[in-house]
Structure 1
Amino acid sequence: MTTDLSATPVRRLLRGRFGWFFAGRTVDMFGSSMTTVALSLAVLQASGRATDLGLVLAANIVPMLALLLLGGVLADRASRRLLLIAANSVSAAAVGGIAVMLLTDRYHLAVIVALSLVAGAAGAFASPALRAIVPELVADTDLQRANALLAGSGHAVRILAPTAAGLLTATAGGGWALAVDAGSYVLAAVLFLRLPAGSRTSPTAPAMGRDLVAGWRVFRSLRWVALTSVSFAVVNAVNVGPWNVLGPMLVSSHGGPLGWGAVLSVRAAGLLLMSIVAVRLVFRRPLRTGRLLGVLPALPLLALGVSGEPWIVAAAAFAGGLGFTISAITWDTALQTRVPREALSRVSAFDDLFSFVAIPLSQLAVGPLAAAVGAGRVAVLCGVAYLVAALLPLLGEEMRRG
């Protein structure tokens, strides 16, 4: 690992076409981060029924999983710029439609679920394009810095956007919060208009089904990608549910709700700090470094199970945030530099699908498991499983050499 003390590359990156993408991506993420909070609060404000909220949130995630691979195919066939503009425009229309319904006191669950499905589908088409367009905008030598800048803005947005959504909902109402959210998608689409046109579908392009199969073959042939994607699936299965469900329960039993809020804030600080530091670092073996430091997010789970004391869990969560950020940045950079450019969106879509599909299962299973064997024991077992799964990719020679 070396350190680049020059600020010139960062200033250069933030000028021109990557600067427009950085701004658009930040605004896009602000809107996406606001959506879940604003939509949740707005639906509860309008209906008061938790069942309605569950249906609306499920409607948002299901099409994301179902259409992710199709989004990857389209992002490899067509202009990624146009796909991002279209996805943000559709999201703006869907979220704006929900806002209008709430502002006019015309709450209809079926219509809101349908619009939530549309917004989720738009996200499925945007996600593969967002990762794959970055190599079109910067040189390979600048990819790690670009990804670190994107990660830093993303972590900052995830801290600010939920608070903004909550304040807007509490003061102006859920409809206005969603209206602002819709406006952020429009602004992102306008900023993406400044990006270069990029690739377009070839008149002789194969059928989409064949394109998808070809993408799967590329994904499967890159064993380091396939192995790491399986690792991510296990990591999410043993982390997302236990952290989000058992975390507040175990920490609150020692320090109350304020303790859990402090833990999340300290973790966010670790995520953001490492994003800033990674802009200046150059890793000689980024894949290996990312996997080794990627074990750090196991520490908060272990701290939950062993102690549950807020200050202990917060310290572990800070370290976990550092490791999670480096793992994500080095992984995105590796995919962008080592996967064939013409298949990058499809490979990214398969990687994302493996990563995301375990999350709902994790959230459903953790409650019954905790009731059966104890919340602390489940947290410790999940921490150990995370540690093993995070190191699994190092069994491959490509990862050890990378």
Structure 2
Amino acid sequence: MPEPDESEHPDHEPPKTNTIQLSRTHLASGRPLRSPAFRWFFTGWSITMAGSAMSPVALAFGVLEVTGSATWLSAVLTASIVPLMATMILGGGIADRYRRDTVLRLTSLGSGISQTGVAVILLAHQPPVLLLPLAAVNGIFQALTIPTMRGIVPQLASGGGIQQANSLLASARNITRLIGPSAAGLLTVSVGGGWAIAADAASFLLAAACFAKMSLPDLPPRTKTDPTMLSELRQGWRYFSSRPWIWSVTLAFAVFNAANMGIWNILGPLIAVDTIGADGWGLVLSARGAGALLATVVMVKLTVRRPMAPALSLMTLAGVPLILLGTGANALWLAAAAFAAGVAAEFFTVAWSTLWHMHIPERLSSRVGAYDEFGSSVSIPIGQLSVPFLAAAFGTAAVAITGGVLTVVAMLIPLLLPALRRIELSTSKAN
């Protein structure tokens, strides 16, 4: 039997002015954009993604503008990612324990305020050490936001509308990834990185206003007999660790993320300097973004009943650009491979998100999602730190080719599990 869904409890508060009260009968089934609640969420999500796409460029050049030091930039980025990873699992517990719309409003508001502080420090040329606590606060807010986003879609859409909702959200994310960095670059060149960070802060505050326009049903009142947060996190871990179709993919993406974030982000530009140049590297990155955007548009209509075999098989294409980097391929071959990798990555993302929302009980979704996010992302700093040393020891070409091969193998291993190959898109949730 499906596990009970806590969101089925009725709302205990009277309707509020200018908010959209949501119940099971009001979920968007076929066309999520027809639902006012989803439209407000989609708008807030898109605004947040636009700001987040601008932030890396703006922060990098803003910190360098103030300090002229790559060491300070590394320190600021580390001050953000360490608290993010440290509190990710706790964020999953909070997102399942409290109303997710409330969590999103508070985290967006908090992120907007902390980013405003970053902008003020950069614009006023204050000591860069002041950026470190604000970066840490931002990391914590992101650790709360990410698991909340993983669990909220089934409360806004149902049935076939879940895949459409995930495709629309992914499309918005990819569009902002194409436009955001260029916009941040223009702002940074014209008025400075501090103002670009200020635009990011404004995006969080606008998103908080959008999230305030939607209101999910209240959860049942908590009693003294309810489990503690620690017990709930243990329950999430038991669910995660007992489902091989979940943790096998998590482990595969731990390998993928270590290789891609290390080799593609660090060795890629280094190799490009001596081969295809900065303009060629820009073409390759744009091609990857274009492929991702195409896939999300197609996935609004395309439904595959058993998507994991094709999704993971396609993900082997993500290893090809790494292999081509190592072999010194020209810009056109790399761009074509990056385009295919972008298509594959977004096909997988939409299929995985849809399976997640259809098969994992809503009341556990954020906790289980936090373990998935942590397990697949904790390898990123390991990859980024180790790649330069490996390249110095064995050569950039050998490391890039090996990373590509490891990516291909990692994507295929989970398909050895029959349960993963057979899992289907459905409207019922598994136990």
Amino acid at match of 1:47: T
Contact 1:233 1:355 in 2 (8 A): yes
- Which range moved further: 96-105 or 309-318? 96-105
- Cα distance in 1 for partners of 2:30, 2:77 equals 38
Map of 1:142 onto structure 2: 161
- Cα distance in 2 for partners of 1:322, 1:238 equals 19
Matched, 1:195 2:229: no
Shift in alpha-carbon separation, 1:74–1:9, aligned structure 2, 3 A: closer
- Cα distance in 1 for partners of 2:122, 2:275 equals 39
- Cα distance in 2 for partners of 1:199, 1:370 equals 53
Map of 1:259 onto structure 2: 280
Amino acid at match of 1:247: G
Contact 2:31 2:164 in 1 (8 A): no
Identity %, equivalent residues: 41
TM-score w.r.t. length of structure 2? 0.88
Map of 1:118 onto structure 2: 137
Please report how far the alpha carbon of residue 88 of structure 1 lies from its aligned counterpart in structure 2 after TM superposition. Answer: 0.6
**Structure 2: 5+ residue stretches without partners:** 1-27, 424-431
Please report how far the alpha carbon of residue 178 of structure 1 lies from its aligned counterpart in structure 2 after TM superposition. Answer: 1.5
Shift in alpha-carbon separation, 1:218–1:148, aligned structure 2, 3 A: same
Equivalent positions of 1:222-241 (< 5 A) are 222-241=243-262
Map of 2:228 onto structure 1: 207
**Structure 1: 5+ residue stretches without partners:** 1-7
Contact 2:116 2:201 in 1 (8 A): yes
Matched, 1:347 2:368: yes
Map of 1:164 onto structure 2: 183
- Cα distance in 2 for partners of 1:42, 1:160 equals 19
- Which range moved further: 163-172 or 77-86? 163-172
Please report how far the alpha carbon of residue 201 of structure 1 lies from its aligned counterpart in structure 2 after TM superposition. Answer: 6.7
TM-score w.r.t. length of structure 1? 0.94
RMSD over aligned Cα, in angstroms? Answer: 1.6
> 1:363 is matched with which residue: 384, 401, 418?
384
Contact 2:107 2:142 in 1 (8 A): yes
Secondary structure at the aligned position of 2:276 is classed as helix
Map of 1:396 onto structure 2: 417
Contact 1:77 1:199 in 2 (8 A): no
Which runs of at least 4 in structure 1 moved beyond 3 Å after TM superposition? 8-12, 198-202
Shift in alpha-carbon separation, 1:357–1:12, aligned structure 2, 3 A: closer
Map of 1:56 onto structure 2: 76
Secondary structure at the aligned position of 1:296 is classed as helix
Equivalent positions of 1:1-400 (< 5 A) are 12-13=32-33, 15-105=35-125, 107-200=126-219, 202-204=221-223, 205-400=226-421
Contact 1:224 1:398 in 2 (8 A): yes
Please report how far the alpha carbon of residue 14 of structure 1 lies from its aligned counterpart in structure 2 after TM superposition. Answer: 5.0
Contact 2:147 2:369 in 1 (8 A): yes
- Cα distance in 1 for partners of 2:48, 2:156 equals 18
Amino acid at match of 1:394: L
Cα deviation code 1:2-59 (max 9, x no counterpart): xxxxxx9876525411111111111111122222221111111111121111111111
Cα deviation code 1:137-183 (max 9, x no counterpart): 00132111111111111011011111111111211122221211111
- Which range moved further: 325-334 or 171-180? 171-180
Secondary structure at the aligned position of 2:215 is classed as coil
Contact 1:287 1:334 in 2 (8 A): no
Q: How many residues align?
A: 394
